Amino acid sequence: MSSESVAPTPEPRKSDAAERRRAEILEQSARLFDRSGYNKTSMNDIAEAVGVRKPTLYHYFDTKDEILYWLHEEFINTLLTQQEARIAERVPADLMVFEIMADILALMQTHKGHVRTYFENHRELPERHRTTSHEKRDRYRRMLEDAIAQGTKEGTFRHVDPGLTALAIFGMVNWAYQWYEIDGTRSPRDIATVFADLVLNGLTASPPRA
């Protein structure tokens, strides 16, 4: 404490290099899982991509499942933080719905491998990790449900089932992991605009009788 005067990094709890290695392993894993699938990618493949040998991976992650678990952590924590900020700022419900959709669609550009791998394999996670990851996922789902319920309470939204409606909206955006092309013409935010317009205003031409 007292001896450090010009330390550039105040508190590197764990070795800084270790943290970067860990991040690199997750990044390469996501890349390979996205390209070849979780099950068809071996720990050896990951090690090679990172530039180390297989046993070194096990210095950072106890099992392959653990890598999958942390891929989920990386993006679900982002989503939770972003939405928590909006709740604190009391963002209007309709805007919240749009922003949640935009957040998730943004992942398709920045964390496609993470998302795909989790969506397609979370059921096969060992009990412990599956449960805790589902808790965060469910917490996020409740955030959207709350935003919908709030919108109804404030008169912005019609009376709808918040649970089913949230599942519909999540479906719209989550499914993008199946078709979104990173080098496509539309940005995630453009797509969010179109999707939010659809879910807020509907497909029907003449406004429904109020």
Partner DNA sequence: CAGGGTACCGACCGGACGGTAGAAACGGTG
Partner DNA sequence: CACCGTTTCTACCGTCCGGTCGGTACCCTG
Binding site for a copy of itself (CB under 8 A): 36-37, 39-40, 94, 97, 119-121, 123-124, 148, 151-152, 155-158, 160-161, 164-165, 167-176, 178-179, 186, 191, 194-195, 198-210
Between 40 and 153, CB nearer to DNA: 40
Closest among 159, 162, 138, 158 to 148, alpha carbons compared: 162
Report the site for DNA in 55-84 (rule: CB under 7 A).
55-56, 58-60, 62-65
Q: Hey, is 95 helix, strand or coil?
A: helix
Report the 10 Å Cβ neighbour count for 13.
6
Structure tokens at 57: 């991976």
Helices 127-153 and 64-89: crossing angle in degrees, nearest 10, is 20
Shortest Cβ distance from residue 58 to a copy of itself (Å)?
Answer: 21
Torsion angle, alpha carbons of 109, 114, 119, 121, to 10: 150
Task: Assess 17 for contact with DNA (CB under 7 A).
Answer: yes
Query: Which of DNA, a copy of itself, none binds 176 (CB below 5-8 Å, type-dependent)?
Result: a copy of itself
Structure tokens at 141: 């789902």
Task: Assess 49 for contact with DNA (CB under 7 A).
Answer: no
Task: Assess 21 for contact with DNA (CB under 7 A).
Answer: yes
- What are the residues binding DNA (CB under 7 A)? 14-15, 17-18, 21, 39-44, 52-56, 58-60, 62-65
